[in-house]
Amino acid sequence: MIVPMKKVAVITQSKDADMALQKLRALGIMHIEYSQPPAGEDITGLKDDINTAGAAINILSSPAYKKIFPSRQEKPADWKFSAKHIADLEKRLQQLDAYSLILNSAIAEWEPWGDFAPEEIEKIKANNIYIGLYQVPVKEIKDIPAGVILKEMFRRAGVTRCVIISEKKPELSFKEIIPPKMSLEKMRIRLYEDQRMRELIVDDIMRYLVNLEALVGVKKDLEKHLELQEALRGMGMQGNIAYLTGYIPFDQARNLEQAAKQEKWGLLLQDPAEEDLPPVLLRNPHWIRLIEPVMKMLGIAPGYRELDVSPAFIVFFSIFFGILIGDAGYGLAYLLLTFWFQKKKGNSGNADIFYLLYILSSCAIIWGVLTGTFFGQGWLAARGIKPLVPALNNPGIMQRLCFLIGALHLSIAHLWRGLLKFPHLSCLADLGWIAVLWVSFFLAGALILGEAFPAFGLPMAICGIILVLFFTEPRKNLLKGLGAGFISVTFGLSFMSAFTDVVSYVRLFAVGLAGVAIADTTNAMAAGLGSGIAGLSAGVLIKVFGHVLNIVLGPIAILVHGVRLNVLEFGLNHTGLTWSGAAYKPLQESS
């Protein structure tokens, strides 16, 4: 559920503003709303320091240094000097890498010419002897004028690269090649020196690995200090009076009142007005909270006055995961990977993400057992192993099941929204939409699967349309209500979109079927390579590649399809969510 908020104004004397903020931070319940944009040299300096520390942390946390991370950690004498030096070293490293690419490319280009010194060529030219490098088509070598010496260096694609020598520069129509300013030998020496310099710089960066945890701590302290300074600079000021506005959860009002009484603050507590935009704090049972990591990753939250769809999100997201992955073998792989990551990382972070992955992996395993899919279906069927529910492998039944899930999922959205509107007459519009959705379900069966459209379908559709048109925006004047409802439906959620939204759930079947097809194709290709050592080895490689590819692509399918059905079809189109909520982030001493 979305926790109701109280709008708060804390009033104190200007000289006590900093102390009041310290007390409020210790209390850790107030989400700050700035009365004016926080600005100042101290804030700019803090942001610069945070960026400096962050840059050094990112460098030291790169995969290149993970395997050699030291067990002991120590605090640097001057963190800012260390962080800037690390950034300078990394910048020098990038410059060396960029120049090494140029040198390698130049060496590869000029090696066929053999080693030569460009400065020696210039000396010869100074003695009135012309030397030039040219590209000459082999067929046109005969056209070189008399008195011009041509020394062929190498040929490539019917063109010879050559050296031309004469008393003066000849008039030639061939392409002249400008020699490099550095000899091939010097290029190789420079490349070697740069590689040695790179090793020294890497060693220098590695010396700072012992400071990584200290730098992380410094960055966190700076961020908390910045948060405090922004709150201070964002306070409203009227003469000797300073005031801070924001929001607190409704059940924390008593704690704030006690603190205000003790600190002798002025305090104003009131319900948010319609134009206010309070932050969103979700409080749900633990099994529902498991979906919050997904919502945070997507950066979405319902608006303060909208529905918290977390319960429906986690239930249907789990179902979608099971159908889209659709393979017990892949589900087992995800389960083992989750266990490995949890054992490696521990529960120092958010343990909910691991529990969510256990649930999702289990859903894939269950669906795979029901359909007889374990790293594909074909090889199991060939051995007489039957699925628990063979009907789930029937395309027609699966498509009908997807339409059913869609109609049910979207009906829950309107039922939920209608219950919140009750007893207002507008709840009848959601009842009408439920009727339209189920008519869409029957229509999808008739048009796509060739099933008979039920006799009650047309009356049901008419009733649903009437309820939507008259009660979307109910008025005392029925004609005005009809007009408002028609406009709302025409420019909002149209009747046609209800049908297409229900049909769009067939993506669950299509994507799941594609995953099984890739798995079966992989197995068939591997089996067709024979039983010899070479065939078996190649078969194992093909199987590993094909199934790993499916395992990697699986989560992408979940993000593209499983998330879309929850966020767009269910949330945006039918529940009416704008996903515009801002997360509740109170001023507190520790995050």
Residues 196 and 100 in one domain: yes
Predicted local distance difference test score (pLDDT) of residue 486 = 55
Among the listed residues 411, 403, 404, the one whose alpha carbon sits nearest the alpha carbon of residue 506? 403
**Could you check whether the bond before residue 423 is cis, i.e. omega within 30 degrees of 0?**
yes
Please list the pLDDT of the chain residue by residue as tens digits (591 residues).
899 999 999 999 988 888 999 999 999 999 999 988 888 888 999 999 999 999 999 999 887 776 666 667 888 889 999 999 999 999 999 999 999 999 999 999 888 888 878 888 888 888 888 988 999 999 888 888 888 899 889 998 889 999 999 988 888 889 888 888 888 999 999 999 999 999 999 989 988 988 998 999 999 999 999 999 999 998 998 889 999 999 999 999 999 999 999 999 999 999 999 888 999 999 999 889 889 888 888 888 898 988 899 999 999 999 999 999 999 999 999 999 999 988 887 665 578 889 999 999 999 999 999 999 999 988 888 888 889 999 999 999 999 999 999 999 999 999 998 988 888 888 888 999 999 999 999 999 999 999 999 999 999 999 998 888 888 776 554 555 555 555 555 544 467 888 999 999 999 999 999 999 999 999 888 888 777 788 788 888 999 999 999 999 898 989 889 888 999 889 888 888 888 888 899 998 875
Going by the DSSP 8-state scheme, the letter that residue 565 receives in this structure is: I
In angstroms, the CA 424 to CA 418 distance is 9
- 500 found inside a domain: no
Residues 14 and 139 in one domain: no
Which residues, listed in sequence order, are joined to residue 248 by a DSSP beta bridge?
Answer: 6
- 339 found inside a domain: no
Domain boundary residue among 196, 231, 266? 231
What CATH number corresponds to the domain at position 238? Answer: 3.30.70.240
Residues 102 and 201 in one domain: yes
- 289 found inside a domain: no
- 92 found inside a domain: yes
- 267 found inside a domain: yes
- What DSSP string runs through 264-328? T-EEEEEPPPTT----B-B---HHHHTTHHHHHHHT----TTS---HHHHHHHHHHHHHHHH--H
Place of tokens 């079927």: 513
Beta-strand ranges (E) seen in 105-262 are 130-137, 149-156, 159-166, 175-177, 236-238, 241-249
In angstroms, the CA 41 to CA 560 distance is 44
Residues 222 and 166 in one domain: no
Residues 101 and 197 in one domain: yes
The total domain count for the chain is 3
In angstroms, the CA 450 to CA 166 distance is 87
In angstroms, the CA 470 to CA 449 distance is 33
Among the listed residues 138, 134, 191, the one whose alpha carbon sits nearest the alpha carbon of residue 163? 134
Residues 133 and 242 in one domain: no
Residues 47 and 66 in one domain: yes
Going by the DSSP 8-state scheme, the letter that residue 157 receives in this structure is: T
How many H-runs (helices) and E-runs (strands) does the chain carry?
A: 21, 9
- 74 found inside a domain: yes
Beta-strand ranges (E) seen in 320-473 are none
pTM of the model: 0.77
Place of tokens 């879309």: 564
Tokens at 25, concatenated = 């931070």
Q: Which H or E run includes 31?
A: strand 31-33
Q: How many CA atoms does the CB half-sphere of 246 hold within 13 Å?
A: 26
Predicted local distance difference test score (pLDDT) of residue 299 = 84
Are 529 and 542 in contact by the 8 Å Cβ rule? The answer is: yes
Domain boundary residue among 244, 278, 312? 278
For residue 66, give its domain range.
37-106+187-231
In angstroms, the CA 402 to CA 323 distance is 10
- 79 found inside a domain: yes
**Torsion sign across C-alpha atoms 526, 527, 529, 533:** positive
- Helix (H/G/I), strand (E/B), else coil: 373: coil
Q: Which long-range contacts (CB under 8 A, 24 or more apart) does 141-144 make?
A: 144/172
- 556 found inside a domain: no
In angstroms, the CA 250 to CA 5 distance is 5
Residues 56 and 202 in one domain: yes
User: How many C-beta neighbours within 10 Å does residue 234 have?
Assistant: 19
Residues 161 and 264 in one domain: no
Domain boundary residue among 216, 231, 246? 231
Tokens at 198, concatenated = 């790179």
Residues 31 and 41 in one domain: no
Residues 21 and 151 in one domain: no
Are 568 and 500 in contact by the 8 Å Cβ rule? The answer is: no
Among the listed residues 320, 340, 337, 319, the one whose alpha carbon sits nearest the alpha carbon of residue 329? 337
Are 374 and 329 in contact by the 8 Å Cβ rule? The answer is: yes
Residues 51 and 84 in one domain: yes
Which residues, listed in sequence order, are joined to residue 150 by a DSSP beta bridge?
Answer: 164
Q: Which long-range contacts (CB under 8 A, 24 or more apart) does 213-217 make?
A: 213/73, 214/73, 214/74, 214/75, 214/76, 214/79, 215/53, 215/56, 215/57, 215/60, 215/76, 215/79, 215/82, 215/83, 216/57
In angstroms, the CA 105 to CA 328 distance is 49
